Every structure is written in C-alpha cells, then in structure tokens.
Amino acid sequence: MNSARSAILARIRHCSDKQSDVAQARLLAPSIHEQPLLKADLLTQFTEKVEKSSATWDSVSEYNTIPSAVFEFLTQHQLPLEVIIERQLTFLSWPEVMTVAYRRPQSQDSTSVNIAFAGIAETGSLVMRSQPSSPTTLNFLPENHIVLLEKSNIVAHIEAIWPRIRLQALPRTINIITGPSRTADIEQTLQLGAHGPKRVHVILVDTPLG
C-alpha cells in the first residue's frame, strides 16, 4: 500500500511541483466562486424553495407550541401518533395521546423530529449535523421527517454554513437535505419516497432556544 502511495505521489509532484503553493494558499484562505442571486428576502426565498422541493412548512412562535404543530401534521396526514425525537427536545411536553421516544430510530418507525443546524435560502435545504442527541438515521429511516428550524439560522447561500461548521470539530455526518427522497430510475418518472422519507415537513420557529 505504501509503495503505491509513494509512486502515485511522485508522479503527481513531478507534474504539479509549482502548483503546491497555489493549493496551500487556497487551503488557508478558502475562496467563494460565483453564487446565484436571491430573488427575495431570506425567509420568502427559503419557503418558496422548500415548497418547490416537494416539502411542506409551518411556522410557530416558540418551542412550546411545537408539540401541537407536530400533532396537527400527524392527524392531517392520518399518521400514527408516534414520534422519535432528538434528545435536545426532552423539555417539551407532548399531548397525552401521543407516544414519544428519544432513541435511535428503527426501520418501522413512522415519524422523526429533529433540529436543523441551518437552512439555506438559495435551495430551500436543511443542514443536519450528526450528534449523539440527533443520530443520522433520524433523517433517513422513518417515512415522515419533521425538521425544526430557527428562523435566525436561515442563511443565503450554501457557503455561509462553512465558517459556522468550522467553529467546532466536524461531525461524522453533515446532511444537506432538500425535500423528500426521490427516484426517476424507472422510465424517468419522478417518484417520492425511494429509500428515505416520503414527506419532509419544516417547522420554522421564531424564538431561538435559550
């Protein structure tokens, strides 16, 4: 393995000797290339793009009203009143008819709820960081994914999240999620819910968590 490494690196260095300074400078000061123009304010652009990605959204004033917003979503779609929730949200009190669990999701779990690290107005995307309290499988295994996003965490372009990501050690996984899972592999016909969630629902929160 090591001989392959040195042989490959020797060939690369032979051709790009002078360019190693350029690469070093780029690594030290990451530069942003062209970005698409935003057509509206952050919130309007974000929600329009969320809808375009076949996801849905709702808005609440504070965290305490989230359980009722989740309950409403579940009943509206006639889903089981069972949710798997990320552990940062244990302080919320849920309606008694609902079953809530704070654990790693299983394949048959119907709905998950977790908090987004950021939202991207450019594309209507949600940025999820894997953490002990919020495992990656919450984003993928259940058929319904409810994501909480504080309005102040909506940024204009994808690049805006990188300086914030660099402030901490990188997590195992960063997922940038834009709408539900989809495939067009049979006769180029779009179908939602290929392997991941069939529904993605964003709940925007006005007041950030203290």
Partner 1 sequence: WAETPESACEQVISLCATAEAQRVLKSKSMITEEISLNPALVQAGFEVIETDLGEYIIQLAQEPPSHIIAPAVHKTKEQVAALFYQYHQDYGFKDRLSDIPQLVAQARQVLRQKFITADVGITGANFLIAETGSVVLVTNEGNGDLSATLPRMHIVIASLEKLVPTLEDATTLLRLLGRSATGQEITAYTSFFTGPRRTDDIDGPDEFHVILVDNGRSALLGSAFHEILYCIRCGACLNHCPVYGAIGGHAYGWVYPGPMGAVLTPLLLDLQTTKDLPQASSLCGRCEAVCPLHIPLPKLLRQLRIQHYQHHITPLSTRWALALWGFVAQRPGLYQALTQIKIKLLGILGRHRGAFSYLPLARHWTYSRDMPAPTGETFMHAWKKKQKEDS
The token pair that represents 33 in the structure block:
């290339």
Estimate to the nearest angstrom the gap between the alpha carbon of 1 and the chain centroid. Answer: 37
How far, in Å, CA of 31 to CA of 35, rounded? 12
- Residue 195 lies near partner 1 (rule: CB under 8 A): yes
- Residue 159 lies near partner 1 (rule: CB under 8 A): yes
Per CB under 8 A, the list member of 59, 65, 130, 207 interacting with partner 1 is 130
Least Å distance between CB 74 and partner 1? 21
Which residues fall within 8 angstroms of residue 188, CB to CB, at 6 or more apart? none
Least Å distance between CB 108 and partner 1? 9
Site string for partner 1, 22-61 (x = CB under 8 A): -x--xx--xxxxx-x------------x---x--------
Segment interacting with partner 1 (CB under 8 A) among 75-83, 88-96, 148-156, 172-180? 172-180
Segment interacting with partner 1 (CB under 8 A) among 4-12, 38-46, 62-70, 72-80? 4-12
Q: 3-class secondary structure for 98-151?
A: CEEECCCCCCCCCEEEEECCEEECCCCEEEEECECCECHHHHCCCCEEEEEEEH
Residues 119, 125 contacting (CB under 8 angstroms): yes
Angstrom CA distances, 7 to 13, 104, 151, 176, 187, stand at: 10, 44, 51, 36, 45
Positions in the binding site for partner 1 (CB under 8 A):
1-2, 4-5, 7-8, 11-12, 14-16, 23, 26-27, 30-34, 36, 49, 53, 103-104, 107, 122-123, 125, 130-132, 135-137, 139-141, 158-159, 162, 165, 170-189, 191, 193-197
